[in-house]
Each structure stands twice: as C-alpha cells, then as structure tokens.
Structure 1
Amino acid sequence: MYVWPCAVVLAQYLWFHRRSLPGRAVVEIGAGVSLPGVLAAKCGAKVTLTDNSELPHCLTVCQQSCQMNNLPQVQVVGLTWGHVSPSLLALPPQDIILASDVFFEPEDFEDILTTVYFLMEKNPKVQLWSTYQVRSADWSLEALLYKWDMKCVHIPLESFGADKEEIAESALPGRHTVEMLIISSAKGSLLHL
C-alpha cells in the first residue's frame, strides 16, 4: 500500500502530540490506508476510521490496516461526506477529526465541511486536524469556513519536525507542497494539548 505524503505529515503531527492522545475520541474521515488513525490508536486514542460508504473497497482497506496493526478495537464505519446517515448520527462526540488530503476536489469541499460541522455540533470543542497537498492557488476554503462558522489556523510543518524538502522529493509527479490546518468551530475554543 502506498502512503501519501499528506498522511505521513499528519502522522508526524500526531506523533509529536502522542502524549495528549490517550483516551481521546478520534475519527478519521476519508481514511484510506488509515496511517494517521492507526497511529492515534497505537498512541491510546479511541479511534473510528471512516471512508466512503458507497465504495466498499475503501472500507476493506481500512479494515486490513486495522488487522495488520493488531487493532481489533478500532471501528470502521461507512460515511459519505455531506450525507446525514445513520452511521453519522451514531458517531459519539469526538475530540479530534483527522483528515489527510481530503481537500482534493473543490466540489467535495462543502460536503466535507458539512460533515465536520455536524460533528462540531455534537462537540463544539472538536478540531479538524488536516493536511493537504497544494494543487492550485485558486482553491480556497475561506468562504466555506465563514459560511459554516468555522475558523482555521495554519500549522507550520517545521513546528513539529516535518521536513518540507523531504516531502518535495517524493516520487509523485507535480508539486508537493503539503500544508497543515486546524479547523474548529468559531464558537469553540482550541483543544489544549
């Protein structure tokens, strides 16, 4: 399985904050191979992995990651961004939402933030920890964050030991600038680590 640079950077951020993870409720959306979620579980968080309910193969990949890492306690749930489904309704309040490179297609941005907003309604202090690969200077979340009453803080990769030069040297074609954001409800306060 290939692990994308964004997942590696998000995992590095989790590792940097590993002492604050035990007992925290964490959900990873668009989990794929689930590196950040698996690491959070290994660090003692109560983790739920989610991926598109309309693509069973994605859920199988999440389950395989749990099996390979001996994590039978991690739940894998089908969740389609922007849909209020029984699976979304059943999720308990979360402390942290992980999202590695989910801001890939601009037409998905609002569906992602709609799902995040729903989770923020259950716990106004929840934060979305997200890494993404910069693909176009024209793509922005700013208007959608304002619409959904959210705020965003950019986290410099150097602040937790991630190396931008190493990421840029990956085997992927094109530009590899990876950024990290923490998104929270404009009403909520920042999670103290």
Structure 2
Amino acid sequence: MQDGNPLVDFRFVRKGDERGFPSFTCTVPVPSNREIGGRWVKGESLHPYPWELLVQRLIRHSALYLSSDNWIRLGVTDEGHVATYCAVARKSVDVFEVAIIAVSSSYQGRGLGRDALADAIRCARAQSARDGVQAQFVAYVDTRNERSARLFHDFGFEPVKRLDPDRRGNVFVVWALK
C-alpha cells in the first residue's frame, strides 16, 4: 500500500470500478416505511443521517463525476474492496471542490477519511502545479454533518458562507482551505 496507509491503495477510478458503486454502503440502512400519527412516512425521512443517504445515492450514480474536469479517487484494499471514495470537481483552473468524500461502513473509524482527503488534495495540487497555478479548495458540508465539518476543520478548512436551505430543507456551509 502507499502514502502511509497500510489498509488501502489510493488510485484514480478505473474502467469497471463503477460496477461496484451501486452496492457501496457508507451509512446505516434506511428504516422501513411506517405509520406515524395516522399517516404513512417514508423510511428515508426517518433516517438519522440524511446527508449520508444523499452521499450514498450520489456514489451509486457516479457517472456525473467522470469527465476531464472531474475525477474520482478510490481507496482500495488488497482484496479489491472499495474502502473510500472521493470525487473532486474542478470548478476553474485553480479551484477544486471536494464534492463527495465517503468511507465504506466496513472501514470507518480507521482514519481513512482523513487519508482520502489528503490524497485528493495532493492529486489536485499536482494537477494545478502542471498548469502553473496554485490550487484552492472548497467543500459544501451539510450543517448537521459534524464528522465532515470536523474533518475539514482539522485539515485547515474554514467555513466561509452559509447557504440558504435547498428545496429539501438541507442547509450547507461552504468551507475553504486557508
């Protein structure tokens, strides 16, 4: 393995990797639909970590991030399991958005989120250096997602703007690496 993590090898996504994305799991299962107060409620609305469901759904439909300006880095175990997933979108010649970062449920709690973020930043900096610019980084974090906020904070990101609620009522904060 490389880059100091004995658990995974970080690499760009390869042809065929996307076949495993529909089964990628990074959160607890969706609760069953149920009746509450005389009305039926969808299980998704009862999920304790709705932002994780959104991330999992985006990973399972990853084609959006496969283009010349966007890329995906995976952390893959010796057995071929995808342990981490990090999608980066190049927003301009020098601005990179960490669009998705996730650790498979089976590998959480081992520092792999930190390692995946470090790997993505290293790759983006190398790409921007080839273009003769200095990379800048942003991320959009759901206000309820304390783990991601802590990860980005520990990396030196700072919240720079709170956005208005989206159509589902989710509120995101834009974080930038200082």
TM score, norm. by length of structure 1? 0.37
- Which structure has greater helix proportion? 1
TM score, norm. by length of structure 2? 0.39
- Which structure has greater strand proportion? 2
